[in-house]
Amino acid sequence: MQSNVECNLPTPESTTPTSCSESNGVELEKRNAYNKRAGRGQVLSGLTHECGVFGAIACGDWPTQVDIAQVICLGLVALQHRGQESAGIVTSAGKCAKNFNVHKGMGMINNIFTDDSIKKLKGNLGIGHTRYSTAAASEAVNCQPFVVHTQHGALAIGHNGELVNCDSLRRNVLERGVGLSTHSDSELITQALCLNPPEGERDGPDWPARIRHFMQLAPMSYSLVIMLKDKIYGVRDPYGNRPLCIGKIVPLDLGNQTPEEVPADGWVISSESCGFLSIGARYMREVEPGEIVEMTRNGIRTIDIVERPEQKKQAFCIFEYVYFARSDSIFEGQMVYSVRMECGRQLAREALVNADMVSSVPESGTAAAHGYARESGLHFAEVLCKNRYVGRTFIQPSPRLRQLGVAKKFGALSENVKGKRLVLIDDSIVRGNTIGPIIRLLRDAGASEVHIRIASPPLLYPCYMGINIPTREELIANQLDADQLAKHVGADSLAYLSVEGLVQAVQRNLKSANPTQVGHCTACLTGEYPGGVPQELSW
């Protein structure tokens, strides 16, 4: 085992706010990261997930036979990996509905929704949300969807993302006489949509104009489901930073027809497509960056596509491919699993090792490990068994148990490991807390060499678009280069995928109607933010 090198990593307590006079860049970044995260659980490792949004509407005669609330609930279960703090569903009966039916709560979907609560969520359309907080505390008051009553009826919103210009938009909304009851950027979006558009409205509310107006005020980052009494709007920000896609609910028996040919029983809209088959829906397409889609009982249609400023490129979050999304989801015409395999192949081309076998840190490193194995000709075998019940909601460990760290989560498959020279693939290294104890575990189980290969480049910069990468100094790659980190974690060698390699792997088999517009956000790897460095960060 190699000796550890010294590194000056911050303790979680060192991100406590400092006095107001210490407002140089780093201190400001630290203080704002702390304020923004106030009320949220402490994060010890990894990138924390995002939110998931979901919407469903029945076609044909209403009241419908389609079990809308159950469809949404199952749709949210499929998005559970995107957020485990709280969830909610809001349904509506249609134009004559006096009120929306609302059920929200803290925790996981299966604990929040029971047969009883689902029965009460009657309706012909509805939206749902599962939350990992990025702005405002993880508390019941910030659970989504948000519901407000406007002059023109009720409005509900589910939001995935984070507004980069939250503070100025907040001032703008407050100056127009609107009150806000939380610090949530998603409530802010709800209220911003209640503002009359500058060109005014002739015959009642013009919701598409209001949405367009909001999109001009806030360039990114959001995928939204917006529900009125009898319709749902799906909205993706002009950069396409967060995912959103459309599915069609079709009869269970299609005979010899394709899903495109049969009339829809209903339509769904979701952050990811991974849950569609479980609710009898088929994937149709993505919502395009900047697109506003309207879903009614008569079908779906594009209302508008809002342009990006100054012809900037799309900026879909590349970490959706690396880590966040479920492997069976489809983005840009390709399955996430295939892209992860492609990253592994590329990693083998860039950083081959002379070893006996390839393995992975389950689950998210596994597809890349298979790609690495195929490209290198090395044999793949599992070396770690993951306890799927040690989740984020696990009891706060005592200091003694906390020191055992990831050993709680993984066991070594010692018979596969003994005497072997291993290449171990993980998807990412963030704070560097996970990989060291895993290497120890494998060495204790008899591995003769452990070479670490990471299927993404070093994380160096914070994310202002909704991912919890708090401060530069918490990112281990800003403290140690690959060789130093190898020593620090006790690996025989360590190498990352290059930024160019990652982008190539993502774009190699991508299908786009508009290839010149394709683009991915890599800001946390390169420091190049899609809209330029935000002028006024809310951090």
Ligand X SMILES: NC(=O)CC[C@H](N)C(=O)O
Catalytic sites, residue numbers = 51
**Alpha helix positions (H), 24-176:** 25-37, 68-78, 109-112, 115-120, 166-175
Q: Give the pairing of strands 291-296 and 281-286.
A: unpaired
Count Cβ atoms within 10 A of the Cβ of residue 36 and give its class: 0-12 exposed, 13-18 middle, 19 or more buried: buried
CB of 329 to ligand PRP, least distance (A): 15
> Rule CB under 6 A: is residue 318 a binding residue for ligand SF4?
yes
> Rule CB under 6 A: is residue 492 a binding residue for ligand PRP?
no
Among 329, 359, 522, 538, interactor with ligand SF4 by CB under 6 A: 522
For ligand SF4 (CB under 6 A), the number of binding residues is 11
Residues 6+ positions from 483 with CB-CB distance below 8 Å: 494
Give the whole-angstrom CA distance, residue 62 versus residue 53: 24
Among 84, 124, 134, 359, interactor with ligand X by CB under 6 A: 134
> Rule CB under 6 A: is residue 186 a binding residue for ligand X?
yes
Give the whole-angstrom CA distance, residue 480 versus residue 476: 6
**What's the token pair of residue 422?**
């291993």
CB of 470 to ligand PRP, least distance (A): 11
Residues 6+ positions from 346 with CB-CB distance below 8 Å: 371, 375, 497, 501, 502, 504, 505
Binding mask 449-468 for ligand SF4 (x = CB under 6 A): --------------x-x-x-
> Rule CB under 6 A: is residue 297 a binding residue for ligand X?
no
Please answer whether residues 304 and 452 qualify as being in contact, where contact means their C-beta atoms are separated by less than 8 angstroms. no
> Rule CB under 6 A: is residue 46 a binding residue for ligand PRP?
yes
Neighbouring C-alpha atoms within 13 Å toward the C-beta of 68: 29
Q: 126 or 161, CB closer to ligand X?
A: 161
Give the whole-angstrom CA distance, residue 286 versus residue 242: 11
CB of 501 to ligand SF4, least distance (A): 15
CB of 467 to ligand SF4, least distance (A): 4
What is the DSSP code string of 319-358? HIIIIIS-TT-EETTEEHHHHHHHHHHHHHHHS----SEE
Give the whole-angstrom CA distance, residue 113 versus residue 106: 11
Please answer whether residues 81 and 51 qualify as being in contact, where contact means their C-beta atoms are separated by less than 8 angstroms. no
Q: 51 or 335, CB closer to ligand X?
A: 51
CA angle 7, 9, 12 (to 5 degrees): 160
> Rule CB under 6 A: is residue 131 a binding residue for ligand X?
yes
Q: 89 or 318, CB closer to ligand SF4?
A: 318
> Rule CB under 6 A: is residue 50 a binding residue for ligand X?
yes
Q: 405 or 466, CB closer to ligand X?
A: 466
Please answer whether residues 89 and 121 qualify as being in contact, where contact means their C-beta atoms are separated by less than 8 angstroms. yes
Footprint on residues 322-351 left by ligand PRP (CB under 6 A): 323
265 binds, among ligand PRP, ligand SF4, ligand X, none (CB under 5 to 8 A by kind): none
Q: 81 or 131, CB closer to ligand X?
A: 131
> Rule CB under 6 A: is residue 434 a binding residue for ligand PRP?
yes
Q: 36 or 49, CB closer to ligand PRP?
A: 49
430 binds, among ligand SF4, ligand X, ligand PRP, none (CB under 5 to 8 A by kind): ligand PRP
CB of 49 to ligand PRP, least distance (A): 8
Of 54-62, 187-195, 277-285, 423-431: span binding ligand PRP (CB under 6 A): 423-431
135 binds, among ligand PRP, ligand X, ligand SF4, none (CB under 5 to 8 A by kind): ligand X
> Rule CB under 6 A: is residue 190 a binding residue for ligand PRP?
no
Please answer whether residues 422 and 451 qualify as being in contact, where contact means their C-beta atoms are separated by less than 8 angstroms. yes
Output the CA torsion sign for 84, 341, 510, 457. positive
What is the DSSP code string of 255-311? TT--TTTSPPSEEEEES-STTTGGGTEEEEEEPPTTEEEEEETTEEEEEEEPPPGGG
523 binds, among ligand X, ligand SF4, ligand PRP, none (CB under 5 to 8 A by kind): ligand SF4
User: Taking Cα atoms as reference points, which of 89, 159, 75, 138 lies closest to residue 393?
Assistant: 138
> Rule CB under 6 A: is residue 294 a binding residue for ligand X?
no
Residues near ligand PRP, by CB under 6 A: 45-46, 323, 361, 364, 426-434
Residue list for the binding site for [4Fe-4S] cluster: 317, 463, 521, 524
Residues near ligand X, by CB under 6 A: 50-51, 131-136, 142, 159-162, 184-186, 466
Residue list for the binding site: 317, 364, 426-427, 463, 521, 524
